[in-house]
Amino acid sequence: MIYFRLFLLFCLAGLLSLNAARAQSKVSGVALDSVSHEPLAFASVFMANTTMGVTTNDKGEFEFARVPKGSYDVVGSYVGYRLGKQTITVETTPLKLTLSLAPTGNQLGEVVVRPEPNKPAEYRQFTELFIGGSTFSEQCHISNPDDVRVMLDDSTQELTARTKEFLQIDNDALGYRLKYYGLYFAYDKDAQSITYYGQPVFEELKPRDEAQRRLWTANRLTAYTGSLMHFLRSLYTNRLAAGGFLAQQIRVVPNPRYERNQQQREALLAAGAAGAYSPAEQDSLRRWSHEAPETATLFPEARPIDSLRVVKPNGRIFLRFSGQLQVAHFGEAPDPRFRGKMGTLGYARTPYPPVRQVSRLQLVDGEAEIQADGSVRNPLAVAIGGYWGFEKIGEFLPYDYVPTGMPAPVRAAPAAPVRPVRRR
């Protein structure tokens, strides 16, 4: 199973606008050259992972009139300069910032070496892993492919991609233009893991007619329903069941037989040709080749909220649990292009509704702070797999997205305490 590290409901009557329900404040400031301290006129300034973006005036000044409470990366971009970034926490008091951008101009006599064009096979693998293979992903188009540098390490087989400025992606399924500034992407084939991070900003595209506007609204709701963002918002407000979610504990432990059996397999392979193996030896080789270094035990009962999150005295909320979580969502069918195997929910005396989407969640550092908008303060502190790992850029929504017209979800039946199910 491929795991992803990110740096991804209520019934309509109970759903308040996130922007209305959360405190807001004004954020303003000035963008300056870090060397000359001169203002940068007409620079782009945005809140990463949102649709909030502005342009500085002729004095380098910018203003966001209403920013919901939370933590943000304020990013400045200007031609010929490195990105300027400042992390802020918005409460109720207005903030005034000074955003410094460092120039990147060439020194006199410096030789500029242009990178070689990307190899088609490596670029294709990057787009498949980053953009994804869902129905929505197939409607995403990179408009500046020459601005990304894709490289494959021959020794480690690690595939990496970087951008000097930004990668621009038009999502014709959701109606967004995504500019992913400072993108870093890495695919580790041996570990079966993907890591990517940067400072993306969303721009809403203009629909050509009312029919396309309605289609984008419906598709955004589809992308949101059952997503990691949806789950974290429901967890933050203690409404997992109302959101159609079921969180179950997975205990992962080392397989005590794995190392010994792999040694026996290597010794048997070194002993002779495959045709010389007895039927019993061939059977052993088949079993050992599919043996996992770890075993996983699924506990079918739903995890109580206090075993999933902790609320600190200052009101900040953290994901905190041991092992892994299996998260099932019952409200929406999976994408027809999903070819993975959905996890089971175990043997419960009271049957659950039909399983729609099953994902996995694991903490990297023991805990991770989550915010009301469904974001993780440190995206690299969590790893996801299963259906959430399948959903990629095609389903990527800004954190200021607010769903509209959402029907009441199917509620999950409570789990009965029964014996755990061993899974590999």
pTM: 0.81
pLDDT for 350 equals 63
pLDDT for 273 equals 59
Tell me, what amino acid is at 41? Answer: A
Residues in the chain: 424
Alpha-carbon distances, residue 326 vs 112, 152, 199, 209, 377 (angstroms): 50, 33, 29, 41, 21
**Positions of the chain with pLDDT lower than 70, given as ranges:** 1-22, 105-115, 253, 272-275, 288, 290, 292-294, 348-351, 405-424
Q: Give the tens place of pLDDT for each residue, 310-357.
A: 999 998 999 999 889 999 999 788 999 998 888 788 776 566 777 789
What is the radius of gyration, based on Cα positions, of the chain?
24
pLDDT for 2 equals 53
In the chain, where are the structural domains located?
Answer: 18-101, 120-220, 232-253+294-423
Residues 6+ apart with CB under 8 A from 73: 47, 48, 49, 85, 86, 87, 199
pLDDT for 325 equals 94
For the domain covering 18-101, report its CATH number.
2.60.40.10
Return the structure tokens found at 410: 């199917």
Report the side by side order of strands in the sheet with 70-77: 53-55, 44-47, 70-77, 84-90
Alpha-carbon distances, residue 50 vs 71, 134, 166, 225, 380 (angstroms): 12, 22, 15, 18, 18
Q: Write the DSSP string, 245-291.
A: EEEEEEEEEE-TTHHHHHHHHHHHHHHS-GGG--HHHHHHHHHHHT-
Which one, of 384, 385, 390, 383, lies nearest residue 334 by Cα?
390
pLDDT for 99 equals 96
